[in-house]
Structure 1
Amino acid sequence: MSFSDNPLSVRSPADLVAAVPYLLGFRPDDGSIVVIVTRNGRIVFAARSDLPAPGAPTQLVLDLAAQLVPVVRRQQPITDLMIIGYGQADHVDPAVRVFDEACTTGDMTVREVLRVTGTRVVNLTCDDPVCCPPEGVPFDPTASLLAVQATAAGLVALPDRAAVAARFAPVTGAARDAMRRATEGALARLEAVVAAGPAAVDEAGAHAVRDALRHPDRRLTDDEVAWLTLLLTRASVRDLAVNLTQPHDEHVTFWADVTRRAHEPLSPAPATLLAVTAWRCGDGALAATAAEHALQIDPDYQLADLLQRALHAGLPPSTFEQATAAARTTPST
């Protein structure tokens, strides 16, 4: 089988395990479950979730399966699935078997159920000790040919989910103090614009957004970041930024930098724009993490909430227009 947008081929369970970090954008931790969807021999979708803690009631695993199975079914048409659990056998095996049964009951074909424990891959669906010994087969992701091919193709697999969040982690120290001063100056500047009326704020916002995105590879000054993030608090300005932002890596890098440097109360808007852009680029891990960051700062930020719901539901980026239409009905967000 191969990736839907890439010619990389998956020919074995070891290849599949090597592919997972590139599908997700990061390497899953122990206690993770990953479900991979294929359609006519091509991988079209991958979902990851945290398993309940070891020893947790079985009902928690059933509840998690009840949430994840509809997300998987939404990817129809589906040829078959692969389920991979990460961690020790006593934690992972009962859980993945629950997911296997839930998917099979839902009229989906599960081709393989695997467990990754340390540097070994155990095939839980094959009883042949010749090809699939019960102790598993050794696996070295750094020596995998698929990993080399994926890297050459420009695919990235960060070490863990924390590394994803680190891409837009807030600046600290002197950089943070400088942004605070720049934001204070921008607030004084904004007061004069607000006094001229809403149209003046929209005009200033449109100018700031268009000027910034005209050359997204240019790093903004502190004053420019402060001015832009203040104006993005206005929904009409943020929506213009959504429309003008393109699904390109340089736009992802741009919004990650603005999110990092924004005065914290002003970070939900650029973080949501980062999430939107990453989603459009196919980086679901970064999109979900950025949306989560926006909601940590402002739990009522509606656009980030809508985006997070769409991501959790496994919806494609094409649904975003519906989400933004709903968000625009509440100008204060």
Structure 2
Amino acid sequence: MSFPENKLTVRSSADLATAVPYLIGFHPSDGSIVVIACRDRRIVFAARGDLPTLGSPAHHLRDLTGHLVPVVQRQQPITDLVIVGYGAQEHIDPALRVVGDEFTATGLAVRELLRVTENRIFSLTCDDPVCCPPEGTPFDPTTSLVAVHATVAGLVARPDRAAVASRFTAVDSTRDGIRHATSEATARMAAVKTTGSSAVYEAGVHAVRGALRQHDDGTRLTDGEVAWLTVLMTHRPVRDLAVDLTQPHDQHVTFWAEVTRRADEPLVPAPATVLALTAWRCGDGVLAVMAAERALQVDPDYQLAVLLLQALHSGLPPSVFEQAASTHPNPSIPSPKTSTEQE
């Protein structure tokens, strides 16, 4: 079993348990379930969800599975699945069996059901005490070669979802400067608008290109530059230009995370959505979902973020965006309901 692009190989359940946080971007907490789709021993997709609490009505688990099944099915061709649950036996084992049965009923082969409890792995599908002892198999991710290889390959496993959010979440103590700069940028924008929308777009071209160039050169934007960029991105053609000029690599993910973190609250949706798109194109589904959710937290009707979140929750691949971008000058993401066609 290998990661995409042969970045990493896992040969045991201990290797897999160590690898999961690098697949989803953070260490899953108790109550998590991770469905790993494989194609000829290669991991092609991983989806995580929160299991209903112990004692919840049965339909809550069916609802979760009803969401996960079509998301995974879209990743065809798939040869088999591995499903991993995290937490105590009495909570996780019954849930794993239900979820496994639901996937099996759709024709998808479930190769393994695994439970991770603290630092031990338990198999629900293997009763050979030699490879899967009933007391579980101990593992230590801090000493695993898989963790070393994952780090070398550029994969990151943050402590939890909060650590992911901290990349683009504002710190209150830094807000006064950006608010003042945004007020000045808003007045500047009003003056530019008097000369027409083409002047706004030309200012946007200069601001977006200059900001990305500064970041690539290692120069941090000033509050004034962040404010001017984010004010200009309220003009949709400028935001779309930012999407077009942004490359799917980690440096630009970092750039848009910083702009989102520093932007004045009402101006967050545009940079957060560009961050979400960039993270999605880089294969970081967790960051993409959380950034899109951040955009919608500020503006629930921000259409590009709405469409993007639908695509992410439906398990569509970033190629959907790439195809749209190559066909249309101002791409939008097809609705999952009409797509012919991956968090």
Relative to the length of structure 1, the TM-score reads: 0.95
The 5-angstrom pairing of residues 50-199 of structure 1 reads: 50-173=50-173, 175-199=174-198
| Secondary structure of residue in 1 paired with 2:92 | helix
Per-residue deviation, 1:234: 1.1
Per-residue deviation, 1:61: 0.5
Per-residue deviation, 1:133: 2.1
| Partners of 1:96 and 1:113 within 8 A in 2 | yes
Cα distance in 1 for residues equivalent to 2:306 and 2:136: 41
1:331 maps to: none
Cα distance in 1 for residues equivalent to 2:51 and 2:228: 42
Cα distance in 1 for residues equivalent to 2:134 and 2:58: 24
Cα distance in 2 for residues equivalent to 1:49 and 1:243: 32
The 5-angstrom pairing of residues 163-242 of structure 1 reads: 163-173=163-173, 175-217=174-216, 218-242=219-243
Cα distance in 1 for residues equivalent to 2:90 and 2:284: 32
Cα distance in 2 for residues equivalent to 1:6 and 1:211: 36
Cα distance in 1 for residues equivalent to 2:227 and 2:7: 43
1:22 maps to: 22
Per-residue deviation, 1:215: 3.4
Per-residue deviation, 1:151: 1.3
Match of 1:325 among 327, 331, 343: 331
Per-residue deviation, 1:327: 7.1
Cα distance in 2 for residues equivalent to 1:248 and 1:101: 38
Per-residue deviation, 1:212: 1.4
Cα distance in 1 for residues equivalent to 2:6 and 2:177: 43
Q: Which stretch shows the higher mean deviation, 238-247 or 3-12?
A: 3-12
Gaps of 5+ in 2: 335-343
| Secondary structure of residue in 2 paired with 1:9 | coil
| Total equivalences in the alignment | 327
| Partners of 1:29 and 1:160 within 8 A in 2 | yes
Cα distance in 1 for residues equivalent to 2:186 and 2:52: 46
Matched to 2:134, the amino acid is P
Per-residue deviation, 1:93: 1.0
Q: Deviations over 1:64-111 (max 9, x none)?
A: 111100111111001110000011111111111111111111111111
Cα distance in 2 for residues equivalent to 1:15 and 1:284: 22
2:257 maps to 1:256: yes
Cα distance in 1 for residues equivalent to 2:314 and 2:333: 18
Cα distance in 2 for residues equivalent to 1:135 and 1:300: 51
Cα distance in 2 for residues equivalent to 1:65 and 1:23: 20
1:9 maps to: 9
Per-residue deviation, 1:185: 0.8
Cα distance in 1 for residues equivalent to 2:301 and 2:48: 25
Cα distance in 1 for residues equivalent to 2:220 and 2:159: 26
| Partners of 1:14 and 1:139 within 8 A in 2 | yes
Cα distance in 1 for residues equivalent to 2:186 and 2:179: 11
What do you get for the CA RMSD once the two structures are aligned? 1.5
| Partners of 2:320 and 2:333 within 8 A in 1 | no
Cα distance in 1 for residues equivalent to 2:89 and 2:300: 37
| Partners of 1:307 and 1:320 within 8 A in 2 | no
Q: Deviations over 1:15-44 (max 9, x none)?
A: 111110111111111111000011111111
Gaps of 5+ in 1: 329-333
Cα distance in 2 for residues equivalent to 1:11 and 1:208: 49
Matched to 1:111, the amino acid is R
Sequence identity (%) = 66
